[in-house]
Structure 1
Amino acid sequence: DGGDSFRIESAEKADRGTEIHITLKAEMDEYTQAHKLRQVIKKHSDYVGFPIYIDGEQANEQESLWRKKPSDVEDEAYQKFYQMMTFDFMPPLKTIHFSTDMPVNLRSLLFIPSKREANPMALRKEPGVKLYSNNVLIKEYCTDLLPDWLAFVDGVVDSEDLPLNVSRETVHNNRLMRQLAKVVRKRVLREIRKMSEKEEETFEKFWAEYGRILKEGFAVDPAAKDELEPLLHYISSKSDGKLITLKTYVERMPEDQASIYYVLGDDISSVKNSPHLDPFKAKDWEVLYFVEPIDAFMVSQWTETQGKPLVNVAGAEIELPEDEEEDSAEESTLSEAAINLFIGRCVKLLGERVTEVKLSKVLKDSPVRLIAPEEGAAPSGYDRIQRLMNQDYEVPKRIMEVNKNHPIIVNLSEKLEAAGDDAASEIVDLTIEQLYESALIQEGLHPNPAAMIPRIQKLLEIATKA
């Protein structure tokens, strides 16, 4: 009658074996069709250890690749299995094949796809690995074995310890599942770490695709920080465009450097020219480039690593050991009256857009820089996050530091001194405005850089007058 009960009775039978007779409900007649039975067997019992026949033909694969020894499997077999499972014809970046019997029985074959975005033709449309119990599929998309920040990993996990009768809906409540998850997660992270140490080219491809996802895991999963921190990689001012770890950075620090320094920006080209790097270039100290939106979010709560403070080079509190030779070489030819006139003009022109205009103690090659005031400032990177998220963004007030030795500042100051403080000077005012807004762009804080175009064109007009 198609109910959920059954009975066992004695029967006369000439040959060995068991026969199971099933009565289907009327609306389930599709399961009498051979093609439907093949679909079910292919999905749930393709790798059971005995053949299954339909109309005299074997319907299951029977041999599971993940139960073989890795040394017995050719790369071509891995590739064929991956393509069959995912319909992704690009080779995976990494194949992870392992087995263990302690603390749980586990056979696993995992893949890291070459691209983060799935092929539109991909067979697997959701995150999660295939979960098997002794070659019988328990769950097609199991998301309980890996955290969200490793959801890009695909493949198969098989455990004989997992009972066949476990409910597919309540797999995540199983104590054994937590043990399996711990083993799988640990192994995947180990393989990624090994890739970063021994396969530089492959890891660079991996980081380009999945680095942001690991950073998101670091930012939102406090329990994962210790696991993920060794995997974080950044380009720096001394890495020649190569990725380095925080550990490598610390190993290269000079003895008189006590902190790890970073600069925030929108891209590598902009941070390379950041005025905040001036004193670090002069001292030949390395600075990490934080150029992804998630980096700004991370540093709002990430203040220490490798036992050392993590410091934004744009901070007002930056104090570096002074070099006597540098001090003597930086004597300015500009009169105090002239530079004071220029600072006063900046204060008058910029008004409430700045909290203060003052001489810089650190600038070398840049005319100005903007720094956050020490009191009442938002956490490092917060203003950049707010601009990126468009949450009622207003340009934050900053301190503008001026380099009195820079040719632009010297020229403007001398013009003001020659003409007098009250004299109108279009070129001075336009240049001050441009210096300020250029600094906003370098900080990633300008809401609309295109608005500068009329001013730039006016400056070009003045500069090209005969």
Structure 2
Amino acid sequence: MNAGVEQLEFQAEARQLLDLMVHSVYSNKDSFLRELISNASDALDKLRLEAFRNKDLKVDTSDLHIEIDVDKGARTLTIRDNGIGMTRDEVIGLIGTLAKSGTAELRQQLREAKNAAASEELIGQFGIGFYSSFMVADKVELLTHKAGESEATKWESSGEGTYTIEAVDDAPQGTSVTLHLKPEDAEDELHDYTSDWKIKSLVKQYSDFIAWPIRMEVERRTPPAEEGGEEVVTIETETINSMKALWARPKDEVSEEEYKEFYKHIAHAWDDPLEVIAMKAEGTFEYQALLFIPSHAPFDMFNRDAKVGVQLYVKRVFIMGDCDQLMPEYLRFVKGVVDAQDLSLNVSREILQQDRQINAIRRRLTKKVLSTIKELQSERAEDYRTFWTQFGRVVKEGLLSDFDNQDTLLQISSFASTHSEEDATTLAEYVERMKDGQEQIFYATGETRQQLLKSPHLEAFRAKGYEVLLLTDPVDEVWVGSVTEFDGKPLQSVAKGEVDLDSGEEKSEAEREEQEKEFADLLTWLKETLSEHVKEVRLSTRLTESPACLITDAFGMTPALARIYQASGQAVPVGKRILELNPSHPLVTGLRQAHQERADDPTVAETAELLYGTALLAEGGALEDPARFAELLADRLARTV
């Protein structure tokens, strides 16, 4: 190895993904060219913006472009740009390392994928970009020179776990990526990347809309001027893309395929968009927008470090790539372009936060996206189900932050319920099915549907035919505290406050009072005995099978919500809860009799502890002293053997 050449290893996750690329099972190998051209386009955008902001940067921006060079003899394909370039550290950070969370989960899903199509879908969610080069190349060389820097960097790898990197003195500004193509397959002419025709067709298909000229030297063959003469072959440099901005063209003049490829370009995605939203606003604030709702959630949707937002242009000039001021955080999965007419080119994120026009555009874009989702819900049920499966969890975050659109968000949301095991329900559909006399929308929160269905809190609701929403996303624990009603119907937790499910068949008022008197001493004693754990003990109207359950005050904080706040570093007090007893259960009636006959017997108090512990476990809670509970239970079981 030459002096100055350093050999480094790819990060473990990167090595495994590289192996997937080298031994590619993916059908759409052509996509590598789109990825490399997109990277080159991004580099040109960044250089023009940096040159505008930094007047001391000595760079020539008069002829920014992308070149594609084919060497048929050497079987190499080079994609070159004169954009911003990269430093040595940037090369290592962007290419040698996958500094992203979610890679372990991706690898597991890839291992479990049943076929090539499923694998490709997963790769598309991850967005590996540059790594796709190894689908078609045995070796990849990268030469890059950062604008304003004195030294350039050369990177090289065969995709086998290591790469070399070295400093070089003489290199033009920008980046070139040279692919040493895999051996030619005579039976696979469709993937001949040394063919001018192939390259031109791929650029036309995938990258025709790129705002920068993509140039390529092509052969021109002129027939002989006279019979018997020789054909004249000349080499000409040709711009092989149209450079027409899709968002500036009328929607009826853009094909569905063009929209798909533009989405893949700006989102660095491999999947097709679920929906295209084209907008043009005139008047006080003029702008054009082309937005996309993806068909798959990105792997880093819940990663705090993920880049979110749409691309911002001003009069076709790229300003920033991840403008989160244009879209609320709960719509962070939306990709696209917004081209404003009246903004200053010299804007920063801080300026945008205060800009009146940006805030107005944000409001309009948000309403348009939400109305589009509503149209999916009413007109394309299958697409809506796909959308909600992928993005419902994040959309519900808007119920906590976007009060202006809260009603719309409630309308487009879907929830699992006891009505159907397979199909989710909207709140409007729930209201239509409400029983005569029912005034509340009942819901339960928990970790899984199975856990909730077994919860004691649901027993009376199931027995009397009341539908209950089953909310299992972590965000559900939070938003139900800020949303009080839908369509005039209050939302009521089955595990909070008191519920009245009287259908006219229950005990009379006199019978209830008599029962309260019968159990008064037991309730008082239990409250004293379990005073460290509960604030009140009362008879229950929501239990039909279980002996007891724990209830939170109507305006109290549930243990699950408290755990969410604690996990985020917020110290929150967890108040004592209410223990409700099923007066018809043998354990409760037996405990009442035991208390009447031998109140001082320690085993009676131990039974009270076990009763409380089983109520806690039944709702999926954690015992405060598991060892103590296990000891009492083992002792009690030993007496029954």
TM-score, reference length from structure 1: 0.74
Selected match of 2:82 from 18, 37, 41: 37
The question of 1:95 aligning with 2:261 is answered: no
Whether the 8 Å contact between 1:367 and 1:409 is mirrored in structure 2 is yes
Q: Secondary structure at the match of 1:28?
A: coil
Q: Secondary structure at the match of 2:362?
A: helix
Q: Within 2, Cα distance between the matches of 1:25 and 1:186?
A: 39
Match of 1:108 in 2: 290
Selected match of 1:388 from 547, 556, 564: 564
Aligned pair in 2 of structure 1 residues 221, 277: CA closer, same or farther (>3 Å)? same
Instruction: Please give the per-residue CA displacement for 1:182-234, whole angstroms capped at 9, x wherever unaligned.
Output: 33222211122222334444434433443232222211333332332222322
Whether the 8 Å contact between 2:316 and 2:339 is mirrored in structure 1 is yes
Aligned pair in 2 of structure 1 residues 365, 284: CA closer, same or farther (>3 Å)? same
The question of 1:276 aligning with 2:306 is answered: no
Instruction: Please give the per-residue CA displacement for 1:54-102, whole angstroms capped at 9, x wherever unaligned.
Output: 994438651333344545555444333333333322344x232323354
The question of 1:436 aligning with 2:436 is answered: no
Match of 2:327 in 1: 146
Q: Within 1, Cα distance between the matches of 2:578 and 2:353?
A: 53
Aligned pair in 2 of structure 1 residues 346, 48: CA closer, same or farther (>3 Å)? closer
Q: Secondary structure at the match of 1:315?
A: coil
The question of 1:244 aligning with 2:425 is answered: yes
Aligned pair in 2 of structure 1 residues 27, 350: CA closer, same or farther (>3 Å)? closer
Match of 1:3 in 2: none
Whether the 8 Å contact between 1:265 and 1:442 is mirrored in structure 2 is no
Counterpart of 1:354, as a letter, is: V
Q: Within 2, Cα distance between the matches of 1:135 and 1:275?
A: 60
Instruction: Please give the per-residue CA displacement for 1:141-178, whole angstroms capped at 9, x wherever unaligned.
Output: 2223211221221122235x346x63233456555444
Q: Within 2, Cα distance between the matches of 1:384 and 1:86?
A: 36
In the TM superposition, what are the counterparts of 1:352-363 in structure 2 within 5 Å? 352-363=532-543
Aligned pair in 2 of structure 1 residues 207, 433: CA closer, same or farther (>3 Å)? farther
Whether the 8 Å contact between 1:430 and 1:459 is mirrored in structure 2 is no
Whether the 8 Å contact between 2:399 and 2:483 is mirrored in structure 1 is no
Q: Secondary structure at the match of 1:182?
A: helix
In the TM superposition, what are the counterparts of 1:126-275 in structure 2 within 5 Å? 126-159=307-340, 161-162=341-342, 166-169=345-348, 170=351, 175-275=356-456
Counterpart of 2:82, as a letter, is: L
Match of 2:585 in 1: 406
Whether the 8 Å contact between 1:50 and 1:62 is mirrored in structure 2 is yes
Pairwise CA distance, 1:403:
1.2
Match of 1:117 in 2: 299
Q: Within 2, Cα distance between the matches of 1:185 and 1:208?
A: 20
Consecutive unaligned residues in structure 1, runs of 5 or more: 1-21
Q: Within 2, Cα distance between the matches of 1:455 and 1:162?
A: 74
Pairwise CA distance, 1:301:
2.9
Q: How many aligned residue pairs are there?
A: 424
Whether the 8 Å contact between 2:548 and 2:581 is mirrored in structure 1 is yes
Counterpart of 2:561, as a letter, is: I
Aligned pair in 2 of structure 1 residues 203, 47: CA closer, same or farther (>3 Å)? closer
Aligned pair in 2 of structure 1 residues 247, 268: CA closer, same or farther (>3 Å)? same
Aligned pair in 2 of structure 1 residues 335, 153: CA closer, same or farther (>3 Å)? closer
Q: Secondary structure at the match of 2:278?
A: strand
Name the one with the larger strand percent.
Answer: 2
Q: Within 2, Cα distance between the matches of 1:184 and 1:177?
A: 10
Q: Secondary structure at the match of 2:429?
A: helix
Pairwise CA distance, 1:257:
1.0
Q: Within 2, Cα distance between the matches of 1:65 and 1:33?
A: 20
Whether the 8 Å contact between 1:387 and 1:447 is mirrored in structure 2 is no
Match of 1:303 in 2: 484
Q: Within 2, Cα distance between the matches of 1:82 and 1:141?
A: 15
Counterpart of 1:166, as a letter, is: L
Aligned pair in 2 of structure 1 residues 388, 458: CA closer, same or farther (>3 Å)? farther
Q: Within 1, Cα distance between the matches of 2:488 and 2:575?
A: 32
Pairwise CA distance, 1:350:
1.8
Whether the 8 Å contact between 2:534 and 2:579 is mirrored in structure 1 is yes
Identity of aligned residues (%): 29
